[in-house]
Amino acid sequence: MTSLPNFDSKLQCWKHFAGYLPVSGGKKSLFYWYHEATETPEKKPLVLWLNGGPGCSSLGGMFTENGPFVLDKNLNISLNPYSWNKVANMLFLEQPAGVGFSFPIEKYTNDSITAADTYESLVVFLRRHNELKNRPFYITGESYGGHYIPNTAKAILDGNAMLPAGSSDLINLIGIAVGNGYTDWKLDFNTNVENARYHALTSQDYFLAAEQACDGNYARCFWPREDVECPDKCNDAVTKATENGMDGSIDIYDIYEDVCLEKGQARLQTQMFMLAKERHSQLQKKLALKQKRRRLLQTVISPIFATCIDGYSTRYLNLPEVQNAIHVQAGTVPKGNWTDCGNVNYDFNYESELPNYKKWVEEGKLQILIYNGDADFILCHMGNAAWIKSLNLEISQPWKKWRGSDRQVAGYYEEYKTGGTQLFTFLTVKGAGHMVPKDRPVHALNMFSRFLAGGHYDQVPATVMGPLCPS
């Protein structure tokens, strides 16, 4: 790519590429946008970023979280000084087929199909970029990425195992990092009632009523499933205790942030909306509730991204001149409109990802980082801590603070022993919500840099970060 509308390319100091990766014998095409590292890309690892949903575009994350471009209200582009391609070669992939610019829209898809297609697209991508062969490779992402990422990692490991030694298609997977991820239905969603109480979203009386009615088993009613019974008393108590977190009056991405009130700004489908939509669908099936109209909220972020950045990125990616510049194939975008989420009929997976983690921890061959913004309501740090606790790991580094490059306390972390040399780490980012790089861009980049360096998050150097591209 040589130019972008509303951007002075003279400010750019890296190469980037966009287009399609054919999979399934050419029946599907996944859209990607690849950004080389701004300095010495030949020495930097390759990192795949996946947003969640399920069914949400990674370009949404690229334009609103950890990518190099920042849009303003007039759709002009400036540079993000905390972009992750400052320290890595970043690949943003729209998957599964039907998401964003990827096509065709599938009538049905699931984790297995998505992981298989993503793995195949990576093989195609690396064949195109021979300079990245055998380069250290990492998978990162958030939200329903808690399923995308481990399933993609498994597909890569299984694919590698079927290849002969020395094959040029081997992918050098080193580690995975999952932010505010959905991993295990019961353990993730059993903590929302307690999270509501601890963040003052409900009263002590409502909390105690839910505790008594549910005997501590909240997930069955907070996020009901057709195959799990939800007693009426428990349902009523959980609904009451979590009402202020789930009624649309605050941003469930980040309970401390305001919402976009810009006049004429449409409420957009985001990855958190897709999760809430699945939950509401289950509520309808289980409890025959009438559908309620909910506000789709956006997060105020500082100091990089504007409050209504989701709307700006959607408008920008729907400009014909932008689609032409990034090589979007004509006629492939539904009704001519790119959307952050939707367009796919995704089978929401209620199976736990814990078996994968148990295997990888025993082997100790993958570096694993599970991180959480501590202000997320729907997929909170308490849920992630609960499923990690269920692995019964031996702690090698007890809970301690970590500081960002600005020397502020950035959060807390804990490390665990594995069967090998790689680290398994659980980490929180103070003051961040569901989208950590959006809310805490400096500390997110600090965290990401340490992840690529092998962990030990108390070793972030004290530095003043400069611009993405020094003049």
Q: What's at 143, amino acid-wise?
A: S
| Euclidean distance between CA atoms 285 and 69, whole angstroms | 41
* Helical ranges in 71-203 per DSSP H: 111-128, 145-161, 185-189, 192-198
Which of 35, 381, 434, 443 is catalytic? The answer is: 434
Contact by Cβ (8 Å): 439, 433 = yes
Instruction: Look up 143 and say whether it is catalytic.
Output: yes
Instruction: Look up 434 and say whether it is catalytic.
Output: yes
SS3 content of the chain, % helix, strand, coil (to 5): 35, 15, 45
Instruction: Look up 129 and say whether it is catalytic.
Output: no
Nearest to 66 by CA among 41, 44, 35: 35
| Euclidean distance between CA atoms 125 and 368, whole angstroms | 24
Contact by Cβ (8 Å): 346, 109 = yes
Which of 111, 251, 374, 376 is catalytic? The answer is: 376
- For tokens 């510049």, what's the residue? 325
Nearest to 105 by CA among 346, 314, 272: 346
Which of 143, 251, 310, 313 is catalytic? The answer is: 143
- For tokens 């299984």, what's the residue? 158
* Helical ranges in 268-425 per DSSP H: 271-287, 309-317, 320-325, 354-363, 381-389
Catalytic sites, residue numbers: 143, 376, 434
